[in-house]
Chains A and B, each alone.
Chain A
């Protein structure tokens, strides 16, 4: 292969076009900042952005004409299968990674302060959400944009159950999972027969309906002001300085001094166990017939139906499982923040969870766990970039779709070597 010559003229033209486009696009919005009915010129910002775009485009044009650029272009993932196959007999080292992570997670609380602990709890909640949506989007290939609705059902389940029925954390935890799954079934049953894009919009509508009802039903949910949610109890002992429901605070029972961090430590421990449990269940499920059916349906629905797979039931099972996981996450969110209101369940939240799944690799568990931590913990650590967080999410989603539409970490499966004389 001869190295291609570089057409500089084309590159310069590209750059000029990009500059012109950038000028028209950024000129008004970036350059003229509205101030009441007047405005303020910010020509410097525009010049800067247009310059960056021109130089960037020039470099890109030149780079893509080199051999290395060509290779990069070729390496962009095409619509090949969603699963990579490893050679037979491949021994995965993932077991040791998981073991190390569990050990790390166990000793982590001894070194963390409260702030770090809350950040990690937050990250774990999103791991749970990401795992749930990963079943729906990643494995079954159903785009669910109203995932936050099930999250809200879990969170408000705790707050409402406490307020009206006097239910505690431990009662609501399984109840919320069941309720969310039922809601998923009711929504999913009529909808899942439809074309994929329609499903996205119906679920989006559903998520918004839940939020709007929570926001408007003042007498029942407290409207935009939200309601308080109880902290978990440890065999009936409360984690508060002063007992609220006639119970005993833990520090009085054990005769130790009060420590506000204990509540978060306890939530962390329970949450960690639940995450492990969900991980395990998901791991087993994806190796069972139903898990294989999800993935087969994602790759080719028509073929599956021709083979006699009941596509509605298979999709429904994925939808319900995902919903129940979100319900669990909602309960943890409510008990962790001690307070829920509808603003926590906007479409942005759904988009964030989707970003986790997309970044992590659709269907890949490890990828989702890593992505959840990256997307929730990084903004906390880089607080000065907080303003740019949403912008970065957006760029990430677009770039990932262009570059690796199936996520950073592909699902790999160990191949099977047919043995002679034995039916595979």
Chain B
């Protein structure tokens, strides 16, 4: 009897093992989509997810990657470095992803990409613009957007040339992204001979910036440059207007979401706010059909939605081109071949940055919408 029991156990184990193998063999191409799905910046997480979801659906409808379907896994980092590392480990160790689209906040992307690199998988961030993201010599790290040094140059030049400002207050949120962007803009301003009248940080999650605004007013600034995200940008610009500060408000790609209007307390406060962002991908003819699909579902593909879509396309193209889901081979292929995406043809350099960046200025109107200038 005991002998029999043992044999049964071995049989059972063998069957489970075989079942495990077959599920592995049939496994889809699992891609993680990581970003702030909750918290103040959930709007960007939603853009990431919508874009990736649509891209995966379209690619799967067209036959998938080498006949295998793409499965997406949503991962929430809440724009929080600690959570980003935890979520990255989980994606790698227990979800067995072969690629990641994400993260959003540079401060999350930087520690998380170390985990992906250690695991040898490829990751593309649709929206992390801090230079450090691709400056650390990681093989599998790419980005579908520009860099803050490029963004800061455009913003700095615009402030000097078009706004003709001489007194600029530079505010940042102490985050890798926010401060990096503010520093890049400040560097460009200084290069053009404009010295900032004020340089200060604020705390993310805070709502009361009245003291800061009082200081801005006392500094006599005629332009306020803010490196940060919309949950802080909204109250800041509102409290400026409420205290009678009429200085122009300029920021970067951290505020490209309709939720800016909500956090500011109404479109009358965002009227005239300027920001830098990549040339509106919705105007590129390549993506017309895709954009129609989004709109048919009642979703406006704003901000980083199409960037996320393009990131999934790039991953699919790399896996198809390299003929495997191996991170090193795929990244080698991506760095040497241009990719057709919803935002036009994109090619990457040795670091994983886009070869061409296309930052332009946008302006928010009294109707609560932004337009390319």
Interface set of A (CB-CB < 8 Å, partner B): 36-37, 113-115, 118, 215-216, 218, 223-226, 228, 241, 260, 337-339, 341, 343-344
Q: A343 and B89 in contact (CB under 8 A), knowing A36-B262, A218-B201? A: no
Residue in contact with B174 in the complex, picked from A113, A115, A218, CB distance below 8 Å: A218
Residue in contact with B81 in the complex, picked from A36, A215, A241, A343, CB distance below 8 Å: A343
Residue in contact with A224 in the complex, picked from B83, B204, B262, CB distance below 8 Å: B204
Q: Are the C-beta atoms of B81 and A113 separated by less than 8 Å?
A: no
Q: Are the C-beta atoms of B203 and A226 separated by less than 8 Å?
A: no
Q: Are the C-beta atoms of B174 and A260 separated by less than 8 Å?
A: no
Q: Are the C-beta atoms of A224 and B107 separated by less than 8 Å?
A: yes
Q: Are the C-beta atoms of B93 and A343 separated by less than 8 Å?
A: no
Q: Are the C-beta atoms of A115 and B203 separated by less than 8 Å?
A: no
Minimum C-beta distance from A424 to chain B (A)? 54
Contacting residues, chain B, for A228 (C-beta < 8 A)? 111
Most central of A224, A241, A337 by chain B CB within 10 Å: A224
**Count of B residues near A, CB < 8 Å?**
23
Q: Are the C-beta atoms of A241 and B118 separated by less than 8 Å?
A: yes
Contacting residues, chain B, for A341 (C-beta < 8 A)? 81-82
Contacting residues, chain A, for B111 (C-beta < 8 A)? 226, 228, 339
Residue in contact with A343 in the complex, picked from B82, B201, B203, B262, CB distance below 8 Å: B82
Contacting residues, chain A, for B179 (C-beta < 8 A)? 218, 223
Contacting residues, chain A, for B89 (C-beta < 8 A)? 115, 118
Complex Cα spacing A343 to B81, Å? 8
Interface set of B (CB-CB < 8 Å, partner A): 80-83, 85-86, 89-90, 93-94, 107, 110-111, 114, 118, 174-176, 179, 201, 203-204, 262
Q: A339 and B82 in contact (CB under 8 A), knowing A225-B176, A260-B118? A: yes
Q: Are the C-beta atoms of B118 and A343 separated by less than 8 Å?
A: no
Complex Cα spacing A51 to B198, Å? 58
Complex Cα spacing A113 to B111, Å? 22
6 more CB-based (< 8 A) A-B contacts, given A215-B203, A224-B175, A225-B110:
A36-B262, A216-B174, A223-B201, A339-B82, A341-B81, A343-B83
Residue in contact with B262 in the complex, picked from A37, A115, A225, CB distance below 8 Å: A37
Q: Are the C-beta atoms of B174 and A223 separated by less than 8 Å?
A: yes
Q: Which residue of A lies closest to B172 (CB)?
A: A218
Complex Cα spacing A225 to B81, Å? 7
Minimum C-beta distance from A420 to chain B (A)? 56
Complex Cα spacing A339 to B88, Å? 13
Residue in contact with A225 in the complex, picked from B85, B86, B107, CB distance below 8 Å: B107
Q: Are the C-beta atoms of B93 and A115 separated by less than 8 Å?
A: yes
Q: Are the C-beta atoms of B204 and A113 separated by less than 8 Å?
A: no
Minimum C-beta distance from A339 to chain B (A)? 5
Contacting residues, chain B, for A339 (C-beta < 8 A)? 81-82, 85, 111
Minimum C-beta distance from B20 to chain A (A)? 13
Minimum C-beta distance from A352 to chain B (A)? 14
Q: Are the C-beta atoms of A337 and B107 separated by less than 8 Å?
A: no
Minimum C-beta distance from B74 to chain A (A)? 12
Q: Are the C-beta atoms of A114 and B203 separated by less than 8 Å?
A: no
Complex Cα spacing A115 to B118, Å? 15
User: What are 16 inter-chain pairs, A to B, with CB distance below 8 A?
Assistant: A115-B93, A118-B93, A215-B174, A223-B174, A223-B175, A223-B179, A225-B110, A225-B176, A226-B111, A337-B82, A337-B86, A339-B82, A339-B111, A343-B81, A343-B82, A343-B83
Complex Cα spacing A50 to B264, Å? 36
Q: Are the C-beta atoms of A343 and B80 separated by less than 8 Å?
A: yes
Complex Cα spacing A339 to B81, Å? 9
Minimum C-beta distance from A28 to chain B (A)? 20
